[in-house]
Every structure is written in C-alpha cells, then in structure tokens.
Amino acid sequence: MQFEALRSEPDGPRVRTDEGRLKLQVIDDAVVRVVATERDSITEPSTDSPMIVEQPPADVDWSVTDGESTVTLETDALRVDLAKDTCALTWRDADGELLVREPRDGGKELRPVDVAELAGENAATPAETLERGAYSTKLSLEFAANEAIYGLGQHDDGIANYRGHDQHLYQHNTKVAMPAFVSTRGYGFLFDSYSLSTFRDDRHGTYFWSECVDELDFYFVSGPELDDVVSGFRRLTGAATMLPKWSYGYVQSKERYTSQDALLAVVDEYRDREIPLDCIVQDWQYWPDSTEDDPDFESWGGPEGDWGRWGQKSFEPSRFPDPDALTDELHERNVRLMLSIWPNMITGEDHEEMAAAGHLLDDGDLSAPDNEVHYYDVFSEDARELYWNQAEEGLFSHGIDAWWADSTEPYNPDWGLEDPLEPEQRLELIASDYKRVFDPAYTNAYSLYQAKGLYEGQRSTTEEKRVLNLTRSGYPGQQRYGAVTWSGDVEATWDRFEKQIADGLQFTATGNPKWTLDIGAFFVEDNTDEEFYANGDFDDGHEDLGYRELYTRWFQFGAFLPLFRSHGTNTPREMWRFGEPGDRTYDTLVKFDELRYRLLPYIYSLAGWETRDEYTMFRHLAFEFREDNRVHEIGDQFMFGPALLVCPVTEPMYYGPGSTPLEGRATAREVYLPDGTEWYDFWTGERYEGGQTILADAPLEKLPLFVRSGSVVPMGPIVQHAGERPDAPWTLRVYPGRDGSFELYEDAGDGYAYEDGEYAVTPVTWDESAGELSIGDREGWFPELTETREFRIVPVERGVGTGVDEAESQTTVTYDGSETTVDVGR
C-alpha cells in the first residue's frame, strides 16, 4: 500500500493510496479513528455502529504535515506518522516517544470476501442481505519487549498477560469476546468489528484479525494511564449506567427455587438470622409446565424431567400462584427479585406470537430437532419490542426488579459432545454453526442487541426503576444498557477458581466495568461421564469439607466484585448450609457479607465514579502501577477501587475433595505489594514498604487484604440491606503515610434522576504533613439526601481501625454540607 494523495476534512486527513482509501478521524486529543478500504471511497459519515455511540464534532486542535516521506497528524496528546512508501502507521505520545507501530512494510491487510459464501447454508438471514462483498482484515503490530497486553474479554483460561499468546474471539458459555485491548505503555485499540476475530502474539505474528467486516475500522486511544485509555473506550461506546444501590449488596441464588413459598422461606431465614441480604434470584422453570402436546426434550438428548414451556414469560400458577403477592412480600422484607429470562422459547403463547410475527430465527436443528426451540431475532427492532412487551406483561408488571438474561451467546454446539475439542477445532465448529444463523459480520453481537432491547423496553415503561441485567455474554457498549456480565457455568475446582480472577480482570480492561461470577462455581459434582464440562471435584457438595473451603475462598473473592452473588447447581448455596453460628465456615461467610455492607459507602461511590468519570472498580494492578514491571504478570491479585489490594487464596490449605485432610500446608500466601507506596494490613494495621513480596497470613477466616497509604476509606454500619439506616454515621478510615483524597458519591439509589443532576458529591482530603482531614463543601443535591451526617474519623495504626468492627478510638464531626477540617491529633 503506497501513498498517492492527501486532503483534509474538518475531522482529520484523508489519504488516497494505490490500493484504496485511508481515513484518519480525530475524535479528541487522545483518540484517532482509522478506517481503511480498497473501495474508491469511504462513506462519510461512516455507517452507524451498534458499538459506537454518536460522537460530537471534534472540538480539538489538530494539524497535519505533508512531509517528503511521512504524513504526520498531531494533537496536543498524540502524534500519528504515516510512511508514504508503505502507509505503515506509527503512534507516539505528545513528546514523540514511541507507543506502538505497524511493521515497517505495512500492517493493514484487506482480503475481499463474499458474505453469502461465508454464510453457507444460512436460512435465518434474508438472502438479499447476504448478497454483498466485505473484507477479511488484519492489523499487524510491533510491541515493545517489556509491555504487557490486557483485554479481549473473558476466555476461561486464566491468561494474565497476552504477550506470547493467541486468543480466538467468539461468544460461548464461559467465553466472552471483546475486540479491545490495552497496553502498559499507555494506549489501547478498539476494533469496530462484530465478526469472529483472532488476536495473536506468537510465532505466527502479532496481529488482530477479523473474518468479515465492511472496512478495517478501529480506534487508537492514548493514555498515558490505563484509566485514561478505558475512559476513551467508554466515551466511544457509552457511559456505564448506574445500577440500583441494592445491587451492591448480597445476591442469593441457586439452581433453583421451585416455588413462591421456597423463595420467601429462604428470605425469612436470612432475616431471622440477621444475615445481610438485598436480592434473591429465581432461576429457570418458573414458567408454565409442559402439556401433553409439548415436545419431549429427553428424546433428543436433553436432561431428564420436564423443562416446561421454556422461555414463556409467565408463571406456573401451581407453584407461583400470586406473583404480585410474592414481590410485595419480598419488598416488605426489603429484598428484591431477579428473574431468569431467556432468548429462546418453545411451545407457548410467546413462541406462537413471535412465530406469527416472523421474529424467530430459522436455526435448523441447532437448538433442537424439528425446530422445536427457537431464538428470537434480536437484530430486528420490531422483535425486540415484541419481546419486551411479552416480558412487561407477563413478568415486569408483577414487580420484578432485575433481569437475568441467560444464554445470550446464544449457541454452544460443543456442549453436546462427550469430550472437549482443541481450540482450533472448537473455533471451526462454532464458526460453522453461528454462520448458519447469523450474518457473518454480526456473529458476536447477539448479547449487545439483547441488552439493548431489555434496556430500551424498561426505560420506555418506567424511569423509577434502574435496569439491571445479569447476562452471560457481552460486547463493547453493553455497559450503557445496565448489563453485568457473569462468567458462565464454570466448575468447582481450585484451578478454575484461580483462572476466574485473571479472566475477570481481562474483561474489565476492555472498558466494561461490570463483571461477576457464580460464587462456588456452577457445577460442583463430577458428571464428566455425561458432559465434559460438568467436571467439579466435589460429589458430596456442601457436605464436603473440601468444597466448604473452596466455597469460602470463592465467597471472599466475590465480596470484592461489582456484583456479589452466589449461584450454582448440584448443592444448596444459602450460608447456613455450610454450618451454624460458631462453625468456622459459617462465621467466615457472614463476616465477609457484613464487611461488604460496611464498605457500601466506598463501593457505591466507586459506582458513581464509573458512571461520571469512566472509572473501573474491579481493576488490574497495572491500572494503578503500570510502571512497576513486577505487576504485569500477576493475575491473582487486584485493586478494588484506589485503596484496597485484594489477594484471594487460590490453593487448599485444610481439605481436599471428599473431606480428605491435607497435612503440612502453610496457612499463608505470597503477596506482592506494588512499589511506590506503603501498605497497611487491613486486619492488623501493620505497615509494610511497597516493592516487596511478603508471606501474608491467610487462615480460612482471613483473605489477605491491604490498603494503600494515603487512602481514605468510607465505611458504614453493618445493616441488613443497602437501604437500611440511610442517615447512619459513617466512619472515615485514614491510612497515613502520604497525602490522599476520596470523593463520596450519593444519589437516590434507584431511578434515573441522577441523569438530570440529582446527586451529590463530597470531597474528602487527607493532609499528611498537617495531620488534618478536610471534608469539603458538598456539591449537588437530591430529595432523599441526608443533609447532616456524623463522620467518625479513624487514623489507622496497628490494632486501631482494623477489620470489620468499629474502632473504639474515634474523632467525631457533624457535617452539614459545608467544609470542615479536623485535626486528628496524631
């Protein structure tokens, strides 16, 4: 590809090459879009993107220089050089320091493809839609030796740093494709592609490939910090919405509660035991039972028993006789109801209505023989509206508080096999099946459209209840639809647990901050003689002391995720199933549940930052310490907000499967404390220098947890639900050693008035040299605001201001919204 001519448009330069056209579009100082095609022109403006929100005209100064051998685009934050002989691009920061480059001979490759030929025997997509040309594209890059790469989604493999690895991007249960990555050199790439894709950094080269796109279309985002890069991703794909405040409390789920009475009995037990709880989840099969005329699922290899009218959006009256009374009684107990909802459906009124409207995908036998089960066509706006109307009439109108949108990949063809496939075989099978149903250019986009439909439907119905959609897949932009991705149906093994930590961190590095998992894993027992993926290690379930240990460690990890939720099959998940008061496991579960509630002022403030400031709550260590090379390969520690370093225990110390005692195991784990700051042990107040690895005490009752010096951590009282005692005193734990600050965020906790400015922020500043804490003037207001609040200020030291309990030695101030400064008398 060689340069031929240059012209400038208001948003950036355009280049004619000997092979087509190249567009450099300035989005802002730190973001430049690159579009390449072999056609004679690039559509202006480019085709609307499901991923990218409408961008305002760039209000930024930029310049382009047409040199002898190079065309250079410059903004205040970024420089892009284009070599005229190959059109290879090089990205540099404002000081001219190299960030990343294409290979010298050029890195942009476009190969024409016939979409209809790629689709093959596709009966679900109109033929006229498929009769078009597109490109298979590849962008090759040259990384520096010491940079680390994060992102690409969640891929069930525990890779901590993608250097030296490859990753196929497709949607699958336990696998979430996100075409974006960031680098510790302070930049990121976001690809506007929805097709099957592959990232490689191995012997085959370093590149990002997409199978079917209209043009090579990507965004380069400059940092320098990873927060800056993710902020750029979020500006492109949309702000993360605020979730309801109650969703940051504890969410109890299992597969499954069988009746209205069963749900209420569990909630009553939580309330009687005074264990904090905010939400209970009803999994599948609440819908009407089958009739004699319904298909026999067992005949085609389905599980034994009655699946009922799967996907019908209404309740079975014999088991859920009064849904209105159910939600009323739950709400009286200050508990919300999340409900499983599926995009596939079988015989029933919803199925018939969708079929009559022509909104079911003709997927042959991918779901079941003889077209017994269909997924609805989320790519159709009319189908999404009909789906919402069904959900609103049959479910939401009865007081449902949140959605659990299961199976949004939506196909998992290899899960019917006895043995797992190798990665390339699995890709081939899944690619073949997906393209039998979807346009090859949109095989990864089902979940994005499903989330869009639920969000827009609920927003059109009410502004008083925030959308919360727990979903099993994801794509860039989904955060603007109130969606939280969970990691899917993983198995209960220590190896899988450890991998989940890195998998989640890779997901949030792509710009979507909302991720969670099934605490304790979905599959607990070993059923690999029937299903290769159902290979848990604990056939005795919650009675197994080995599983109790694993569950406790998983629960400790889950307490520091955006959504704190236990779920799974094979064995119950309620806390009292693991013991009674005085038992080690039970007491530890309750302790970490109570810690979660004490941290709600901190957590909800972080949620506000995610919406207002494009922040990421659950974050890789490199977000805070990217220049410390020792954090680059760490996938089993993370930051929870700016203050808390969380170090889950990922090896058994006491018991193996079958309650087998383990001898000689140390009850400690190695922890790396990042350089550049001091650290406090959250449980003891002991202070450590950064830049070292320590052996941290980690008996079952204790998750190694450290706090960065200079942190101010707001904490509330132990409450039974997130809305209890809104005017209660808050503690401000101060961790001396350096200056620090924190911004408290508050709003009504539900509804969308915050979008109109109904929220309040309060800056808190710690002055290390003066030993003073300042609580600044409150900015903003909302009707439910606690105008006057008591703050208890606790400078942390050894044995003071530690653990879950309140500190005895406190300085108290009554804050009325006006600035106040407290000398803590250190």
Contact 714, 571 (CB under 8 A): no
Characterize the bridge pairing of strands 31-37 and 216-222.
antiparallel
Q: How far is it, in rounded angstroms, from Cα 414 to Cα 428?
A: 11
Q: The tokens of 329 are what?
A: 């009684």
The catalytically annotated residue of 489, 503, 747, 750 is: 489
The catalytically annotated residue of 278, 406, 414, 747 is: 406
Tell me whether residue 406 is one of the annotated catalytic residues. yes
Tell me whether residue 518 is one of the annotated catalytic residues. no
Contact 645, 708 (CB under 8 A): yes
Q: How far is it, in rounded angstroms, from Cα 494 to Cα 498?
A: 6
Q: How far is it, in rounded angstroms, from Cα 686 to Cα 666?
A: 21
Count Cβ atoms below 10 Å from residue 29 Cβ, excluding itself.
Answer: 18
Q: How far is it, in rounded angstroms, from Cα 647 to Cα 534?
A: 27
Around 366, how many Cα atoms within 13 Å sit in the side-chain half-sphere?
25
Handedness of CA 393, 395, 399, 402 (dihedral sign): negative
End-to-end CA distance of the chain: give it in Å, rounded.
67
Q: The tokens of 259 are what?
A: 């009746």
The catalytically annotated residue of 409, 518, 525, 747 is: 409
3-state secondary structure 96-149: CCEEEECCCCCCEEEEEEEHHHHHCCCCCCCHHHHCCEEEEEEEECECCCCCCE
| DSSP symbol at 206 | E
Q: CB neighbours of 458 closer than 8 A, spacing ≥ 6?
A: 388, 392, 396, 465, 467
The shares of helix, strand and coil residues in the chain, as percent rounded to the nearest 5, are 25, 30, 45
Nearest to 83 by CA among 99, 105, 63, 62: 105
Q: How far is it, in rounded angstroms, from Cα 532 to Cα 373?
A: 23
Q: The tokens of 598 are what?
A: 């004490």
Q: How far is it, in rounded angstroms, from Cα 732 to Cα 811?
A: 10
Tell me whether residue 105 is one of the annotated catalytic residues. no
Q: Which residues are catalytic?
A: 406, 409, 489
